């Protein structure tokens, strides 16, 4: 009877996977899914979604800043993305005198749009399967020889693709190295801030609502791509013109209904669907909880500081959002994986894999032991990943002065080279200029408290970490010494040190207690922790390559998709709610009424400015309402992850319904395992976005730039 139940469970599991809208599909392969998508209601053809020879939807989809997605919505290069994606730019333009975080910002014309040095907007030109070319001449090669040949093949392919063009190219491995694709792209470097709502709209709900449904966040901001006179990428210049795109997205202004077709087109960052069961257990029970605890401590300090003064609030808004985003995601991720009993499901699927391999002699030789080998590797070497994760949290996400220490360490290490090539003045100037921005957004008291809490926790977690001799003072005494004396915790001390840096300065640097502490830990991390973790990771990657190859070969009728890796992908589903737990039913959309209800709770995360209350009282929704209600957000069954922030959610005609900005808390586990019954992406309705522009902000000129489709 137990065998019968297990068999039924596996069959049912496989069936659910077959019908679920799981997967992040490579656009150049979308023709294989065209009929399925059309059966769900899509009216587009694969050629309209992705084409190299003609303009298509892909030409309106932009990789924003390398970590988010944006979409072009007008013939003048107007870009929409999430508020949180543009947050660092918004913050950089804000001050006590011009508090764009609190009050919002809207350029009245092109001349009022704000430049953002370093920000890029990237269009994908084409995506090409180069697996055969990449593997040419690799038969019989292993290890370093294999990697050397792969690198040589890659360099040649990239050089050939870029010759006589202004394009750039890269090649990425898919399906754990079983396939390779070349991405040819056009990178624009003049991207200007056009508008942003205040935090009370763009961050409405704060940490309380982050990763939670029902959601009422107007998570959007507006930018514009500028180009040279030839409409090609150009460095910032006041004479640059708005970019004329190959395609831009019309706006879907028709009524929405549960069950409507939805498609999300964007740049998902990273998923790990193939990890072995005991690795997933490690993530759920040890790695994620430890990282959450480290961020608990940082956030307790930052949140208190931001509440204490507007100056600190402005300085730390972007930092707090960055730290808190993954922190809360991980909490929901653990909960979802536990509720789903994901480790048990992994074990079931591994049993199915091993059973398939045992029925074919060739498969048994190649795939029969790969799961056992992955599990053994986790059991014997997983500590290296834990130490690596803790090092990342402390050395790269912890005390801020560590960033300056890293920069000066580079100056010390390469001092002779900088002198010989005459670049020392340039390097010094870069450090001093960087210090201006660093200390503009730095508070010594906040950083000192973070240092104290995280240093204590780090040494609890990593008992073998080297300790500086001055730590005999105790953590608090040690912190007092660093923050009162170190070069790196005071702008004047730091700038003077860099200005006068010479041949003998390294001695002074090594005596600096703050630098000595960082240096001992950083050296241990780079010379011991990173090599151990890299060795573990390379071994696991090699096993995963074999494991995935077996999946593709032994289960050809299943729906397979490559893990997200920051490249352009498509996911499709429906506009729908969910039932994430027993007795809990989520509807598919929220309205302005819900914003007011949350505001009335008095929670500071639900603060509103008077203008919103006035508009609600007037009920002036214009053409943006549906049946008398102003939709704010809706949820869909699209498989998304980090990097999909800002991605367009499109209707059956390829018109823009809204901006993807989140998943429900129950969905964050989808980075490891997708559950069709509960995994939902969250979208801010484009009609609410335009209502905010028009009615709230008085920026109807931006709405007028767009093409509104009412049918």
Contacts of 304 (CB under 8 A, 6+ apart): none
SS3 341: coil
Closest CA to 338 of 665, 682, 643, 8: 665
Please give, one letter per residue, the 3-state secondary structure of 393-443: HHHHCCCCHHHHHHHHHHHHHCHHHHHHCCCHHHHHHHHHHHHHHHHHCCC
**Helices and strands (DSSP H and E) totals, the chain:** 29, 22
Supply 247's token pair: 């395609």
CA dist., res. 268 & res. 14, Å (int): 25
Identify whether 83 is a catalytic site residue.
no
Identify whether 84 is a catalytic site residue.
yes
End-to-end C-alpha distance for the chain, whole angstroms: 55
Q: Which residue has the tokens 């011009």?
A: 98
Q: State the alpha helices, DSSP H only, in 486-587.
A: 491-499, 505-511, 513-524, 530-554
Contacts of 501 (CB under 8 A, 6+ apart): 411, 415, 428
Of 59, 190, 219, 651, which residue is the catalytic one?
219
Whether the link from the prior residue into 214 is cis, omega within 30° of 0, is: yes
Supply 389's token pair: 């994760």
DSSP per position, 92-126? HT--SSS-HHHH-EE-SSGGGPEE-TT--EEEEEE
Supply 333's token pair: 């991720």
Of 84, 216, 418, 589, which residue is the catalytic one?
84
SS3 240: coil
Residue 662's alpha-carbon distances to 329, 514, 616, 635, in angstroms, are 10, 38, 25, 9
Residue 371 CA neighbour count, 13 Å, CB half: 21
CA dist., res. 663 & res. 339, Å (int): 17
Q: How many CB atoms lie within 10 A of CB 2?
A: 6
CA dist., res. 105 & res. 222, Å (int): 10
Closest CA to 404 of 446, 428, 426, 434: 434
Identify whether 219 is a catalytic site residue.
yes
Residue 77 — left, alpha, or beta (φ > 0 → left; ψ -120 to 50 → alpha)?
Answer: left
Supply 415's token pair: 């001092």
Supply 662's token pair: 């989140």
Residue 218 CA neighbour count, 13 Å, CB half: 28
Nearest-Å Rg of the Cα atoms of the chain is: 26
Phi, psi torsion values for 56, nearest 5 degrees: -150, 180
Q: Which residue has the tokens 């973790």?
A: 533
Which helix (H) or strand (E) segment holds residue 70: the answer is: strand 68-72
- According to DSSP, the residues that pair with 64 across neighbouring strands are 68, 121
Supply 305's token pair: 């500081």
SS3 559: coil
Closest CA to 261 of 479, 611, 573: 573
Of 645, 664, 667, 670, which residue is the catalytic one?
645
Active site residues: 84, 219, 645
């Amino acid at each position: 009877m137990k065998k019968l139940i297990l068999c039924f469970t596996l069959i049912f599991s496989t069936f659910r996977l077959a019908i679920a809208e799981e997967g992040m599909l490579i656009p150049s392969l979308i023709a294989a899914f065209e009929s399925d998508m059309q059966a769900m209601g899509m009216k587009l053809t694969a050629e309209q979604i992705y084409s190299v020879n003609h303009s298509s939807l892909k030409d309106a989809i932009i990789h924003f800043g390398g970590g988010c997605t944006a979409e072009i919505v007008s013939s003048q290069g107007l870009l929409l993305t999430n508020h949180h994606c543009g947050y660092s730019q918004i913050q950089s333009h804000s001050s006590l005198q011009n508090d764009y975080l609190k009050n919002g910002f809207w350029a009245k014309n092109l001349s009022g749009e704000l430049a953002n040095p370093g920000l890029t907007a990237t269009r994908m030109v084409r995506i090409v399967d180069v697996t055969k070319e990449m593997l040419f001449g690799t038969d019989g090669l292993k290890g370093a020889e294999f990697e050397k040949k792969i690198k040589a093949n890659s360099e040649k392919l990239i050089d050939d693709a870029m010759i006589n063009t202004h394009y750039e190219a890269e090649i990425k491995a898919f399906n754990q190295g079983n396939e390779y694709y070349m991405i040819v792209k056009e990178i624009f470097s003049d991207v200007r801030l056009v508008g942003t709502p205040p935090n009370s709209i763009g961050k409405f709900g704060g940490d309380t609502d982050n990763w939670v449904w029902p959601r009422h966040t107007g998570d959007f901001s507006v930018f514009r791509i500028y180009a040279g006179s030839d409409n090609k990428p150009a460095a910032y210049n006041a004479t640059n013109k708005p970019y004329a795109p190959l395609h831009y997205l019309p706006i879907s202004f028709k009524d929405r209904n549960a069950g409507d077709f939805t498609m999300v087109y964007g740049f998902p960052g990273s998923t790990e669907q193939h990890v072995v069961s005991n690795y997933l257990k490690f993530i759920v029970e040890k790695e994620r909880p430890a990282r959450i605890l480290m961020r608990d401590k940082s956030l307790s300090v930052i949140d208190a500081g931001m509440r204490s003064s507007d100056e600190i609030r402005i300085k730390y808004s972007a930092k707090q959002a960055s730290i808190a985003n993954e922190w809360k995601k991980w909490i929901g991720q653990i909960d979802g994986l536990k509720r789903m009993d994901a480790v048990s499901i992994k074990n079931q699927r591994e049993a199915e894999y091993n059973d398939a391999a045992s029925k074919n002699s060739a498969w048994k030789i190649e795939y029969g032991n790969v799961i056992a080998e992955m599990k053994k590797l986790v059991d014997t070497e997983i500590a290296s990943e834990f130490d690596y994760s803790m090092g990342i949290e402390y050395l790269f996400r912890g005390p801020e002065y560590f960033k300056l220490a890293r920069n000066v360490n580079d100056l010390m290490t390469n001092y002779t080279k900088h002198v010989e090539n005459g670049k020392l003045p340039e390097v010094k100037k870069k450090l001093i200029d960087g210090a201006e921005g660093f200390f503009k957004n730095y508070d010594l008291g906040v950083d000192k408290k973070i240092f104290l809490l995280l240093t204590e926790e780090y040494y609890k977690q990593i008992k073998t970490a080297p300790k500086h001799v001055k730590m005999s003072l105790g953590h608090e005494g040690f912190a007092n010494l660093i923050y009162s004396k170190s070069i790196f915790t005071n702008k004047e001390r730091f700038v003077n040190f860099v200005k006068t840096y010479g041949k003998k300065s390294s001695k002074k640097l090594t005596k600096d207690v703050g630098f000595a502490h960082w240096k001992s830990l950083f050296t241990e991390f780079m010379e011991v922790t990173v090599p151990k973790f890299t060795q573990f990771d390379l071994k696991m990657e090699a096993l995963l390559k074999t494991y995935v190859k077996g999946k593709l070969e032994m289960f050809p009728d299943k729906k397979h998709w490559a893990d997200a890796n920051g490249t352009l992908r498509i996911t499709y589903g429906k506009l729908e709610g969910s039932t994430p737990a027993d007795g809990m039913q989520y509807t598919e959309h929220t309205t302005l009424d819900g914003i007011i209800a949350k505001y009335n709770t008095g929670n500071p995360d639900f603060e509103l400015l008077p203008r919103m209350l006035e508009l609600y009282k007037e009920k002036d929704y214009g053409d943006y309402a549906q049946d008398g209600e102003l939709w704010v957000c809706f949820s869909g069954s699209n498989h998304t992850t980090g990097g999909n922030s800002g991605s367009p959610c499109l209707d059956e005609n390829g018109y823009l319904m809204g901006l993807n900005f989140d998943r429900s808390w129950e969905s964050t586990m989808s980075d490891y395992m997708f559950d069709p019954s509960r995994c939902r992406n969250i979208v801010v309705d484009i009609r609410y976005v335009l209502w905010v522009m028009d009615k709230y902000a008085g920026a109807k000129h931006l709405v007028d730039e767009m093409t509104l489709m009412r049918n």
